[in-house]
Amino acid sequence: MNKKIIKTENAPSPIGPYNQAVESHGIIYASGQIAIDPQTGEMVGNKDVKAQTKQVMANIKAILNKAGLTFNNVLKSSIFLKDLNDFDSVNEVYGNYFVAETAPARECIEVVRLPKDALVEISIVAVR
């Protein structure tokens, strides 16, 4: 199997038995990111979904950078929200990282609970 682990100190260490990202055959699968500051290991944003989304996107950017990629390489994203009423606020932040005409495919799902009681979690799939 062609499998490469992608790991960076600029994104949070995994909080379970998984890696930040795995690459196989030029496709990068990044694990879901929550608003953990990689320097402190603490959640940021308290109950501010915009602040949490900014940290999540910073974590994803760090993983992409480690792989030598940018947000332009993202094919698909999955957004998990504790409250779907935060959809517009998350979109406002998330939209700053993509050009609308070439933005990735995605879904957005409301969930009962996220790790560390995060308000938002985002995972991505990117390609070289």
Of 69, 35, 73, nearest to 55 by C-alpha is 35
CA 85 and chain centroid, separation: 19
Per-residue pLDDT of 59-91, as tens digits, reads 999 999 999 999 999 999 999 999 999 999 999
CB 104 within 8 A of CB 98: yes
- Identify whether 108 is a catalytic site residue: yes
- pLDDT above 70 covers a percentage of the chain that reads 100
* The pLDDT of residue 40 is above 90: yes
Q: Please give the domain boundaries of the chain with CATH numbers for all domains.
A: 4-127 (3.30.1330.40)
Residue with tokens 């406002």: 92
Residue with tokens 């990111």: 33
Q: What is the pLDDT of residue 51?
A: 98
> Which residue in the list 44, 51, 58, 108 is annotated as catalytic?
108
What's this model's pTM, rounded to 2 decimal places? Answer: 0.97
